Amino acid sequence: MSAAKKVPIPPRGVDYRGKIVLAPMVRSGELPSRLSALYYGADLVWGPETVDRAMIGTTRRVNDAAGTIEWTRTPSHGQKVKPTDAKESIIYKLHPARESSRLIFQIGTSDPARAVACARLVAADVAGIDVNAGCPKPFSTSGGMGAALLQTPDLLCAILEALVAEIVPEFGIGISVKIRLLETAAQTEKLVRRLVATGITGLTIHCRTTPMRPREAAIRGQLKMIADVCREAGVACLMNGDVASRDEALVLMEEYGVDGAMIATAAEKNPSCFRAEADGGIAPWDEVVEYYVKTAMEVENKFGNTKFLLGNMVPGKEQAHSPITQVKSYTQTCERLGFTHLVEQAKATDILIGLGGDGDAASKKKGRQAIKSALAAGGQMGKARKLEKEERKVAKAKVPSQQAEVVSAEVAPAVAASSA
């Protein structure tokens, strides 16, 4: 039997086969969310859809203190603001050491030239470029982007071909596309056949039509057909829609013959869904939230975004949920969640991002110094907490043998009483 056809993976690109990945989600796909997903086992992460017009004209800068790269611009909104008073907006942020080799940048675009111009800004810092042709929300479709591209296949193919021709040879990364189902299987097949002929290395199919909403069950009847078409062309095929965990993803991949799977909503609530059951499975919400908050502070994430995610990550039935919806700073967040070991770092972060202090250079310098001290102290405290957990595990492991000794001493009733 001859080997299956496979589109060559560029030297800096990634092969989507066998991967369980974080789906692109606006707000829920920002840097700390991606790093949390990777920490708990995601193979790749998609950033949120970023519109080409927003990226073009940005300035790339390195934030050495946070270890991040940021693309910023000064907002205009038609206002007359002195250059010295204007505050830059961060359009996109990534952490090169922790995610670049596993990060896919997704573009919102409706023009080949703009798509290339946008991709060129970030291509050297990511592992792949993905075109959003599936988002049904008005902010995307109103500009002819997202799911609107499904109705203009000539334009969608032209965008992909331009990216393959310009970005792949220059930067050595692959191009992919994310789409939705069309009204009929025949229409979907016709579109997929055109897309896989453009030179892309991966295609993700969201198993819903454009009018469908997340609460409606995913439609998987066309998956095998789509996977077969992709395989014939040597393009990796990923599925998206109602995938709740790594273990479930692997079962679905086997059942439908797809190469990989995306997780969206489940990861928004608890990114440890990427961890296999054999490796620990879903972690307790408070453990996951603690890692997320710590990471958000390390990368200087906008507090509003952090608070939004916490609203999803702290279960509504938990006592901490209501208080967390009222916090206005990282300090209040750590205090109300009981993360006392992170409070000093939170205070320093608040100063740094303008939630405390005067927001001037001196305050920021003070904040960075405080963060270094807090991280150093936190490291020692973290070691102590880890040692404490290990000691508890050892203690639990000794319980059966200790009970056996008690039973052999003919004091079983005492054991029963102590157990009760």
pLDDT tens track, the chain, 420 positions: 445 788 999 999 999 999 999 999 999 999 999 999 999 999 999 999 999 999 999 999 999 999 999 999 987 654 554 444 457 899 999 999 999 999 999 999 999 999 999 999 999 999 999 999 999 998 889 899 999 999 999 999 999 999 999 999 999 999 999 999 999 999 999 999 999 999 999 999 999 999 998 899 999 999 999 999 999 999 999 999 999 999 999 999 999 999 999 999 999 999 999 999 999 999 999 999 999 999 999 999 999 999 999 999 999 999 999 999 999 999 999 999 999 999 999 999 999 999 864 444 444 555 555 555 555 555 544 544 454 445 444 444 443 333 333 223 332 333 233 333
DSSP letters of 289-339?
HHHHHHHHHHTT--HHHHHHHHHHHS-TTSTTHHHHTS--SHHHHHHHHT-
Return the H-helix or E-strand segment holding 349.
Answer: helix 343-352
Question: Domain boundaries in the chain?
Answer: 20-279, 302-380
Q: Determine the Cα–Cα distance for residues 248 and 251; give it in Å rounded to an integer.
A: 5
Catalytic residue among 118, 135, 230, 237: 135
CATH architecture label of 20-279: Alpha-Beta Barrel (3.20)
b/e map 333-355, b = 16+ CB within 10 Å: bbbebebebbbbbbbbbbbbbeb
Burial class (CB in 10 A: 0-12, 13-18, 19+), 394: exposed
> Is 334 considered catalytic here?
no
